[in-house]
Structure formats: C-alpha cells, structure tokens
Amino acid sequence: MHLEDSVLEPFADKVLLTETSLDSTAITVRGVSLEDEGCYICSFNIYPKGTTRKQICLIVRGVRTVRTWKRPLVAPALDTEKPVVVTCSATGKPAPEVQWGVSEDQKSGPMETTSSNTNSDGTVTVTSSLRLDLSTSPRTHVDCLVGGQETQKRIMVSV
C-alpha cells in the first residue's frame, strides 16, 4: 500500500504531516503568527472511499510587537528633580498586560498612565508610561514586563 502525503503551497513550510495512515492522520502547525488565524480545510483523498474534508479553525494568541522609548521631562529651573518618562507599548491578542519592574519609591508624581487601542486586525495595543525621578534613584534601567496568558517578556529600558 502506498500513502502519498502532500501539503499545498503556501502551507508547506508551516504544516507537517506527523502521522499518515488509513486509520489516523495528524498534522502539526509550526511557526504560527497572529496573521495565520482563520479557518482551514483539510482534504483527504482516500481510495476507494473518495475525498473527505474537515475544517479546523486556528485561534492564535500572543504578543506580536513590543516597543520601548524614553524622553526627558522638562522641569522648572528651580526644580531639583531629573524626571524622565519611559514608555512601553505592546500589541497582541488578547490585550497584553504591561507592568513595570520598579519599586514604588522610585516613581515620582502621578506616575503611571496606561491606555489601550483596538486595531483593525483585532489586536490591541496597550501603552504604559512611567515617570521616574533620577535624582532620587540612581537606576540605569527599568524593566517593562509584558505578559499574555501563556508567557511573559521582560524588556530592559535604559534610563
């Protein structure tokens, strides 16, 4: 008996047939990105039975991009603070959680602001900004912690 297994382009580099027999067929999907979310049809040609088709819908969750930046905050001339604002922005599905790895005593003023924006592709961009007073804290960096349901990324922001 000869089993011919093939995956059509453009899926050949992402889909691997991990089991092919008359009784059972299994596939593995690898290198998935948020853009791969959708419903797919698997078509099996079985002799003498004919063609069997099954639909499977792939739901992708995760963080696509993380960006960080900093900017000095202009302070009055007599102010001894050296404030800086660090910002961390993450885009993902569902909305990523953005937190700061910094102790409360290193924050100054009305410190943390967070906003979110739903994008046309169903992802959500969450942006968090943090004001730090460098005159009371000799820190050289802060950590932006970006989390999803499964993973958490730590991004170091130099201040």
Q: C-alpha distances in angstroms, 30 versus 54, 61, 125? A: 19, 14, 25
pLDDT at 29: 85
- The tally of domains found in the chain comes to 2
91-140: pLDDT as tens digits: 999 999 998 887 555 555 446 788 999 999 889 999 999 888 776 666 67
Q: Does 111 lie in the same domain as 36? A: no
Q: C-alpha distances in angstroms, 73 versus 79, 83, 85, 150? A: 12, 5, 6, 35
Q: What's the mean pLDDT in 32-37?
A: 84
Q: Does 71 lie in the same domain as 42? A: no
How far from the centroid of its chain's Cα atoms is residue 70's Cα? 21
Q: Does 43 lie in the same domain as 111? A: no
Q: How far apart are CA 63 and CA 38, in angstroms?
A: 17
Tell whether 8 is covered by a domain: no
Both tokens of residue 107?
Answer: 């924050």
CATH code of the domain covering residue 86: 2.60.40.10
pLDDT at 16: 81
Q: Does 68 lie in the same domain as 132? A: yes
Q: How far apart are CA 113 and CA 134, in angstroms?
A: 18
Strand pairing report for 50-58 and 38-46: antiparallel
Tell whether 67 is covered by a domain: yes
Q: Does 116 lie in the same domain as 78? A: yes
Percentage with pLDDT > 70 across the chain: 74
Domain span at 154: 62-158
Q: Does 83 lie in the same domain as 27? A: no
Tell whether 7 is covered by a domain: no
Q: What's the mean pLDDT in 27-32?
A: 85
Tell whether 4 is covered by a domain: no
pLDDT at 2: 42
**pLDDT surpasses 90 at 3:** no
- The pTM assigned to this predicted structure is 0.68
Q: How far apart are CA 57 and CA 37, in angstroms?
A: 8
**pLDDT surpasses 90 at 78:** no
Q: How far apart are CA 87 and CA 136, in angstroms?
A: 20
Q: How far apart are CA 89 and CA 146, in angstroms?
A: 9
pLDDT at 110: 45
Q: Does 106 lie in the same domain as 31? A: no
